[in-house]
Amino acid sequence: MVENNNTKISAKDVDVFYSEKQALNKISMDIKEKEVTALIGPSGCGKSTFLRCINRMNDLIEICKVTGSIKVDNEEIISSSTDVVSLRSKIGMVFQKPNPFPKSIFDNVAYGPSIHGLADTKSDLENIVITSLKKAGLYNEVKDRLNEPGTSLSGGQQQRLCIARAIAVNPEIILMDEPCSALDPIATAIIEELIDELRLNYTIIIVTHSMQQAARVSQKTCFFHLGELIESGETNKIFTNPDNTKTQDYITGRFG
Partner 1 sequence: MFFWSIVLILIGIYSSYILGKSRIKKLVYSTNLKPKSQYNYHAQYVLSWCLLPALIVYFSWAIFEEQIIQNLILDSFEYVEGAAYNDGLLLAEIRNVANNTDFSEGKSQEIINAASQYKSLKLTSEISFYISIIIIMVLGSLYAVRKINIQFNAQDTIEKYIKYILIFCSSIAVLTTIGIIFSLIFESFRFFSQVSIFEFLFSTEWYPFIPIREGQAGAEGSFGAVPIFAGTFLVMIVAMCVAAPIGLLTAIYLSEYASQKVRKTVKPLLEILAGIPTIVYGFFAFVTVAPFVKSFGQSIGIDASPTSALAAGLVMGVMIIPFISSLSDDVINSVPQSLREGSLGIGANKAETIKKVILPAALPGIVGAFLLAISRAIGETMIVVVAAGTAANLTANPFENVTTVTVQIVVALIGDQEFDNPRTLSAFALGLVLFVITLSLNVLALRIVKKYRERYE
Residue 180 binds to partner 1 (criterion: CB under 8 A): no
- Minimum separation from the CB atom of position 101 to partner 1 (A): 5
- 116 lies in the site for partner 1, by CB under 8 A: yes
If one asks whether residue 104 binds partner 1 (CB under 8 A), the answer comes out as: no
State yes or no: residue 143 binds partner 1 (CB under 8 A).
no
Angle at CA of residue 12, ends 21 and 87, nearest 5°? 90
Of these, 77, 125, 162, 198, which contacts partner 1 (CB under 8 A)? Answer: 162
d(CA 244, CA 248): 6
Indicate which single residue of 93, 125, 138, 146 sits in contact with partner 1 (rule: CB under 8 A): 93
d(CA 201, CA 208): 21
- Rounded distance, CA 221 to CA 233, Å? 6
Binding part of the chain for partner 1, among 19-27, 34-42, 110-118, 200-208 by CB under 8 A, reads 110-118
Residue nearer to partner 1 on the CB measure, 90 or 216: 90
Give 37 or 158: the residue with its C-beta nearer to partner 1: 158
Q: Which stretch binds partner 1 (CB under 8 A): 20-28, 87-95, 188-196, 243-251?
A: 87-95
65 touches partner 1 by CB under 8 A = no
